[in-house]
Structure 1
Amino acid sequence: MRHESPLSLPRHVAIIMDGNGRWARARGLPRTAGHRAGVERVREAVRTAAEANIGYLTLFAFSSENWNRPQEEVSDLMGILRFFIRRDLADLHRENVCIKVIGCRDTVQPDIRALLDEAEERTRNNTGVTLIIAFNYGARNELTRAVRSIAEAVRSGRIDPAHVSEATLSTYIDTTGIPDPDLVIRTSGEQRLSNFLLWQAAYSEFVFMPCLWPDFDRKAFYEALAEYSRRDRRFGAVEAPEIAVGS
């Protein structure tokens, strides 16, 4: 049976998938078990987004700071990513999901870079949910790369520095052509952005969920959407005053 969607839905939802390690620790399991359980929730989140007619879903899969974790855990995470793409790419393609990857790929292992490229190329023409995977992503790095590219364009004469604007920067960041997220969800009860979509989330609504990511199921997703639907988004404007009848 189809879930009854909230009246006001976001076009783009971004999720910071947090709490895999704590989920595993609470069960006496290795952190890898939490990451593997988290992959199952990725599939459910994509299906729920499609069911709710959400056009864009961004998942913070691996941050540029995650390389500082123990080497064994990083290796496990890379293995899980390989497994996810090889196992699920055909299903995502069949479900009309369009995959895009944001983040810096220059330092990523060649086989993983090839898998990411394949996922994008194979699903390029799909018209369902656009799944944006933030991999080796950090917002400060993204902005630094964008500013560097703009500086090079100015130096070569392709851009007049007097014409550099917010719109200019928006065309150089990783999410160019993708609408900014209306809703940012973070699981595990933490209440911070952690270097995620700093530019794009300027006017996003935030919903912080107490559950850990492996427990973030379809019901929790709809609870976050319901909370979003109750928000009054003014984008810095003042709410229009009510006009009394007969005035």
Structure 2
Amino acid sequence: MDSEEWVARQRRYWDSLSTAYDRMYDSAWSARENGLVAGRLAPLLPPGTACHVLELGCGTGLGYDLLARHTTAGIRYTGIDVSPGMLAAFARKHRAGEVTLVNAPVEEVPADRFADVDLVMALFTSASYVRLPLEALLRKILGWMRPKGGRLYLSFLNRTSLRLAPAWGFRPEIQYSSRRTRGAAAPALRYSRADLLRAARAHGLAARIVSLGPLTGMLEMPLAWSLNRLLADFTPGTHTIEMIA
């Protein structure tokens, strides 16, 4: 699949979900996942300071909402997404001028478009929909970040996911459908813990690798959350895998 087709399929898939996306993830389990991610994000932004946050695959604005509710930093926010529909849903929820939204594939955003960003984030597997080799993606992101003190939080689909193994084995590239949808799919790249650590070391990053827990997408019952949270700092077999550096 060439880059043009990849981008077209991403745009078509996420546009098709844009009006229903927030409702799809309006559940007690998703709320707990959001709290887990918020707790990891908050320490990455110094309290009470002015910070520029860049989100890749920002969707309908959940990442911005989590930061606004769970940090005291003065956030200047830029969100990038390939889907006009997702960005329209984001814009409807926020005042004009509150955020900056860019409709473009991450792959096509120029290397010199941003500088001195305090936090680059791609939440809930958004980094898996960027068609760049992992080391090239990190190189691009590091070029946008503040050289000293910049942080990143990148979430990917896990190549060793037990949930996806019956259909896809451990293939690095798959066709992925969000867990509450059927039919249409988007191309996605998957990585293992070893892949993320190898790429981080190549760029001199000390990375922490975690997940959203082994039961996400498999056994999303309230009584199972405590066990899921207990195991969320580990990655074998999990649906997602997150790099924090």
User: Greater share of strand residues, 1 or 2?
Assistant: 2
Higher RCO (Cα < 8 Å, 6 or more apart): 1
The structure that has the greater radius of gyration is 1
Using structure 1 for the length normalisation, give the TM-score.
0.33
User: Greater share of helix residues, 1 or 2?
Assistant: 1
Using structure 2 for the length normalisation, give the TM-score.
0.33
